[in-house]
Amino acid sequence: MQAGQRMRRRERAQGFALVVVLMMLSALAVIALSYAGAARTETKVAANEIANAQARALADAGVMLAVAQLLDGKDGEDGEDGESIIDGRPQVVPFAGVDLDIIVQAETGKIDLNTAPESLLKGLFEAAGLPSNEAASFADRIADWRDDNDLRRPFGAEAPDYGENDPGPPAAGGFAHVHELNRVLGMTAELFAKVAPALTVHSGRQGFNPRVAPRSVLLSVLGAQPDVVDTFLEARGQEAGGNQQLPFGDGDLINVEVGPVYTIQAQANSEGSGRFVREAVIWIPKSGERPYWVLDWRAGRSLD
Ligand SMILES: [Ca+2]
């Protein structure tokens, strides 16, 4: 009788111990699993960071490759830009086991915000899809932004027209950067994205060089029709370096200079999901102690 009670008591104690051990085991399993999960996430994050860093380094290398080619061309016998493609055509350059997408655009092919005639600026906004009166308004506001006076053009805007958060046109006049256009009255991000690729502050010319001008610039010229522009571009692509005359507009808008400032975009996709676009503005002076200067260096928009 006593022996039987002792045995049952021992069995209960053993059963209780088993439950405690099982609970501890499952608690340990939960802890182990959560550690494994955290480690997996961290591994994934680290892998992404490595892939992004690789893409960034590759894109930066792409810009430097393009700079090296521009510098090579500078020493060419006729002073031309050698074999560099500088009219904004996309190029695929194999480098370090990946294909880099590189675009080089001579700034003299673009419309200078500080020096372009208002008719050309109006044409740019019309080509971007704005009705004539709104396009004229933006041309006036840009002209008011860059001039040194307080006189408002018919559709323009001077300091009093801007809100409290933005003082309006700079006292010294002129755009320091294309992105400053975002501060001009009425500008939207969507419209800016459309016109910005055609604009520069580094040309300093009234007009542009049609040999290297992007399509959006050519379409901005008064009387330019899309089909005529496309035919012109096709001929230009086949006749590299040829002296192309514009089949529309007047000759006052034409200049023949190419340098010395270029926008370079380089996009790299590394293994994994890494992707980076570097956009740089490079000045290559004709002489001086430094072969080139980096005027701008930023993360760019996707080239796809
Ligand atoms: Ca003014």
pLDDT in tens, 156-173: 998 888 987 788 888 777
pLDDT at 77: 44
pLDDT at 244: 65
Q: Which has the higher per-residue pLDDT, 4 or 234?
A: 234
State the distance from the centre of ligand 1 to the C-alpha of 195, rounded, in angstroms. 22
pLDDT in tens, 171-209: 777 999 999 999 999 999 999 999 999 999 999 999 999
β-bridge mates for residue 87, sequence order = 105
State the distance from the centre of ligand 1 to the C-alpha of 168, rounded, in angstroms. 11
Q: Extract the tokens encoding 137.
A: 């308004």
State the distance from the centre of ligand 1 to the C-alpha of 112, rounded, in angstroms. 18
State the distance from the centre of ligand 1 to the C-alpha of 150, rounded, in angstroms. 5
State the distance from the centre of ligand 1 to the C-alpha of 190, rounded, in angstroms. 26
| DSSP alpha helix (H) spans, the chain | 2-74, 118-127, 132-146, 189-195, 215-218, 226-238
Mean of the per-residue pLDDT values for the chain?
Answer: 88
Are 159 and 171 contacting, i.e. CB atoms less than 8 angstroms apart? no
Radius of gyration of the chain (CA): 31
Q: What is the length of the chain?
A: 304
β-bridge mates for residue 112, sequence order = 200
Task: Look at residue 78 and tell me whether its pLDDT is greater than 70.
Answer: no
Q: Extract the tokens encoding 65.
A: 């490759």
pLDDT at 261: 95
State the distance from the centre of ligand 1 to the C-alpha of 140, rounded, in angstroms. 8
State the distance from the centre of ligand 1 to the C-alpha of 118, rounded, in angstroms. 13
Are 262 and 229 contacting, i.e. CB atoms less than 8 angstroms apart? no
State the distance from the centre of ligand 1 to the C-alpha of 260, rounded, in angstroms. 30
State the distance from the centre of ligand 1 to the C-alpha of 126, rounded, in angstroms. 22
State the distance from the centre of ligand 1 to the C-alpha of 197, rounded, in angstroms. 25
Task: Look at residue 241 and tell me whether its pLDDT is greater than 60.
Answer: no
Task: Look at residue 16 and tell me whether its pLDDT is greater than 50.
Answer: yes
Q: How far apart are CA 52 and CA 104, in angstroms?
A: 23
The amino acid occupying position 245 is Q
pLDDT at 81: 45
Report, as an integer, the average pLDDT of 94-111.
Answer: 94
Q: How far apart are CA 279 and CA 158, in angstroms?
A: 32
State the distance from the centre of ligand 1 to the C-alpha of 61, rounded, in angstroms. 43
Q: What are φ and ψ of residue 59, in 5° steps?
A: -65, -45
Question: What is the percent of the chain where pLDDT is above 70?
Answer: 94
Report, as an integer, the average pLDDT of 297-303.
Answer: 91
For residue 26, what are the CA distances in angstroms to 13, 21, 22, 40, 233? 20, 9, 6, 21, 71
Reported confidence tier of residue 75, pLDDT bands at 50, 70, 90: low
Give this prediction's pTM.
0.80
Could you tell me which residues come within 8 angstroms of residue 174 by beta carbon, excluding any fewer than 6 positions away?
Answer: 114, 146, 201
State the distance from the centre of ligand 1 to the C-alpha of 166, rounded, in angstroms. 17
Q: Which has the higher per-residue pLDDT, 261 or 235?
A: 261
Are 186 and 137 contacting, i.e. CB atoms less than 8 angstroms apart? yes
Reported confidence tier of residue 216, pLDDT bands at 50, 70, 90: very high
Q: Which of 91-95, 269-273, 297-301 has the lowest mean pLDDT?
A: 269-273
